[in-house]
Structure 1
Amino acid sequence: MKQPVLHTVLSPALLHLYDLSNTIVVIIDVFRATSTIATALYNGAEKIIPVDSVEQCIALGKATPNSITAGERDGKVIEGLQYGNSPGDYPKSFIEGKTLVLTTTNGTRLLHMALNNGAAEIITGSFPNLAAVTEFLMQQKKNVILGCSAWKDKFNLEDTLFAGAVVNKVTNHFKIHCDASLMAQEMYTLHQDNMHTFIRKTTHWHRLSAYGLEKDLEYCVTPNVANVLPLYKNGALLAMH
């Protein structure tokens, strides 16, 4: 049986260059959407409905029982929504049993782009659920796209580092002839032991730490603290057990 193929897509602006049919797309938005999604589901959220517009977020929040609306644009909570995009906002005592309607600058947008481009299956990944993601990909034996949400279509480092962590774990299970994957893996292996120091150099760190979010960001690069697999099904992300 021939090995499935894995590619890393460094920005949503490059997604159209790849065939997503029969492919699992991993949405990666380390700071902070996919870290928050894993955390909320790990802490017992019933489901997460990712939407790409604020208006839709507010409308769905009103129409969905036992739901909360959350989202940010440029790192700040949006007016009209109840909560932000910090993993720390969603402890078990608060989120258990609730539906989270979420919109973010980059991650939820990429998820909808992947859907519209015919992705066979969509999951979300970040360091807090690294093991769940890699185990799933190795079991499924399907082609994979690691989709980095980036920052407004511009390359970012933290999403690429996570893609590299995935490549590093699954490399023997896939055919990987992809320079973006090679670069991501090399970068991850170079910095995996000093991740908390290295991420302080990233643009996103400077942008978000200005809002006092350092603890958030350190959590977002900590492996397996919310090890659950968010799978997109019928319009929502559910924890797959």
Structure 2
Amino acid sequence: MSNQPTLYTSLSPALIHLYDLNNTVVVVIDVFRATSTIAAALYNGAQYIIPVDSVPKAIEISKSVKGIAAGERDGKLADGLSHGNSPMEYKRDFIEDQVLVLTTTNGTRLLHMALEQGADDIVTGSFPNLSSVCNYLIAQGKNVVLACAGWKDKFNLEDTLFAGAVISQVKAHFSIHCDSSFMAEYMYQHNKHDLLGFAKQLTHYHRLVDRFGYIDDIAFCLQENVADVLPLYREGRLIRQE
């Protein structure tokens, strides 16, 4: 049906400028770990999250809102921040009613790139909140760009894998003529029964597990619907859709 909205998958922030983001839902995807952490924090009762693109800005803003400055650079806790980018850190007894100010190497940077390109409808997606993302995309009935954060502008498989999970659930509602979307769905369909086993081949898995031991993080980030909320970007904040 030609009157259906379109869906495209951008495999890297370096490619996002190729897509028209006006009147489009942009799904920012950073599975390991920013968007999984965002879902976990909001699911566990965070008031809201302020995504920022630099560590000094995270520290400055957290002081002004009496929030928690958190984030990472190159996979490890960033200097000057008290908390990292692990979804396991943000349990309810810690994060409930708190404001989280988050900066990450890839995900929060991509969100700001999308804003600069005119995006006005941004949500964040990860396996823990897969169903909420899919339901939102179908309900909005707008064009969609699934924006993969990758790693420092390079392609990565885990973000593309999540794009494929979304496509497999929503494709009946969209017109999809996009090779990266076809690839993403094919990869997800062939690996969906053992995402963790598949992930053990990935470069970012080894970066996080071999160097830092974040195996629990990875397992959480690949579990579907364990923090099933929809983070919506509104006026500088990621809030939970009610």
Superposition TM-score, scaled by structure 2 size: 0.98
CA distance in structure 1 between the aligned counterparts of 2:231 and 2:200, rounded to whole angstroms: 27
Q: Which residue of 2 aligns with 1:169?
A: 169
For 1:77-226, list aligned pairs within 5 A: 77-209=77-209, 210-226=211-227
**Partner SS, residue 212 of structure 2:** coil
Q: Which residue of 2 aligns with 1:22?
A: 23
Unaligned runs of 5+ in 2: none
CA distance in structure 1 between the aligned counterparts of 2:130 and 2:230, rounded to whole angstroms: 9
CA distance in structure 2 between the aligned counterparts of 1:50 and 1:217, rounded to whole angstroms: 21
Is it true that 1:60 corresponds to 2:84 in the alignment?
A: no
CA distance in structure 2 between the aligned counterparts of 1:119 and 1:63, rounded to whole angstroms: 27
CA distance in structure 2 between the aligned counterparts of 1:215 and 1:64, rounded to whole angstroms: 30
CA distance in structure 1 between the aligned counterparts of 2:225 and 2:27, rounded to whole angstroms: 16
Unaligned runs of 5+ in 1: none
Q: Which amino acid aligns with 1:16?
A: H
**Partner SS, residue 122 of structure 1:** strand
Is it true that 1:234 corresponds to 2:220 in the alignment?
A: no
Q: Which amino acid aligns with 1:183?
A: M
Q: Which amino acid aligns with 1:231?
A: L
**Partner SS, residue 200 of structure 2:** helix
Shift of 1:79: 1.3
Q: Which residue of 1 aligns with 2:69?
A: 69
CA distance in structure 2 between the aligned counterparts of 1:81 and 1:114, rounded to whole angstroms: 25
CA distance in structure 2 between the aligned counterparts of 1:35 and 1:201, rounded to whole angstroms: 20
Q: Deviations over 1:165-209 (max 9, x none)?
A: 000000000000000000000000000001110001000000000
Q: Deviations over 1:92-121 (max 9, x none)?
A: 000000000000000000000000000120
**Partner SS, residue 228 of structure 2:** coil
Aligned-residue RMSD, C-alpha: 0.7
**Partner SS, residue 201 of structure 1:** coil
CA distance in structure 2 between the aligned counterparts of 1:88 and 1:223, rounded to whole angstroms: 15
CA distance in structure 2 between the aligned counterparts of 1:240 and 1:196, rounded to whole angstroms: 29
Q: Deviations over 1:44-85 (max 9, x none)?
A: 0000000001110010011113x1000100111011111000
Superposition TM-score, scaled by structure 1 size: 0.99
CA distance in structure 1 between the aligned counterparts of 2:14 and 2:54, rounded to whole angstroms: 19
Aligned length: 240
CA distance in structure 1 between the aligned counterparts of 2:197 and 2:220, rounded to whole angstroms: 13
CA distance in structure 2 between the aligned counterparts of 1:104 and 1:143, rounded to whole angstroms: 27
